Chains A and B, each alone.
Chain A
Amino acid sequence: MPGRVLAGLRRFGHRGSVLAGYAAVCEVYGTGLALGYRPTFHAAFHLPVAVFGWAFVAAGAAVALGAPRRRDGLHYAVAVATASTWALLIGTHFASPYGWTAGVSWAGIALGLLLASAWPNAPRRVRPPPLPDLGQLLSGGEET
């Protein structure tokens, strides 16, 4: 099972793997928020935290769609936007004495995603065409 997961992630490349991992985090965290977990505050902008949970679930689905794609700019933008928005929301709404630590953690996640968005994938190995043998080469490729 871990081998299959690794093979799938290898097919995505490291950019797609980062998106897939972040999508999984969004789904789990968003489900937790929707089910009742509270990050020290219960509402922001007159919206209950559960709404942000469903927003996380939707964002996770949008980010997951970008994992197998080569053009993943919009998906990275969505990922960074959710992480930085949540970091700033926690930073401006926290209600417990050390609630800001969660905001800093999410800011770190946003920074990591921003760095990952700037990393190009390693070039894929292309199977080269077969080499002509010496006879074909000397006869100018007439034998092919």
Chain B
Amino acid sequence: MNWHLLASGPAPGLGTPGGVHLNSAVVTGLIVGIPSTIIAVAAYFLSVRSGRDAASASRVQIDAEAYTRAKDLYESAIAALRQQVDDLRSEVAALRGQLDRVTAQLRRRAR
């Protein structure tokens, strides 16, 4: 099929006497122009959507990293506080033992 002949003259049967004369160049122009325009518009909207997706993906990544860092930080703080509580408990137990001993001595002296 000699497709290139489409652009060389009026297409048979497409001309309307007294109306718009639709020649083969116009038909070829429509064949070339309409799909190209549709595809270009699709590419534009796909680009805009992918830009939104990229922005939301980076937000999710930043949130995930912030969560991990905050989790590490708070877990280390909680561990340090637990250690302090354990130290204070053992100190209180030692002081309670000393107090019991001093109380017992004072009671013995009082008798």
Contact = CB atoms under 8 A, between A and B. Distances in A.
Interface string B48-69: 1111011001100110011001
B37 interface: yes
Interface of A: 15, 41, 44-46, 70-74, 76-81, 84-85, 88-89, 91-95, 110, 113-114, 117-124, 126, 128, 131-132, 134, 137-138
A35 to B, nearest CB: 22
A137 B40 contact: no
B69 A120 contact: no
A123 B58 contact: yes
A114 B42 contact: yes
Contacts of A93: 3-4, 6-7, 28
A70 B51 contact: yes
Interface string B70-107: 00010011001100000000000000000000000000
B22 interface: no
Nearest to A138: B77
B75 to A, nearest CB: 11
**Which secondary structure dominates chain B's binding surface?**
helix
Interface residues of B, number: 41
Given A91-B3, A134-B76, A134-B80, A73 B44 contact: yes
A101 to B, nearest CB: 14
Contacts of B76: 134
Contacts of B50: 15, 117-121
A80 B4 contact: no
Nearest to A40: B4
A88 B44 contact: no
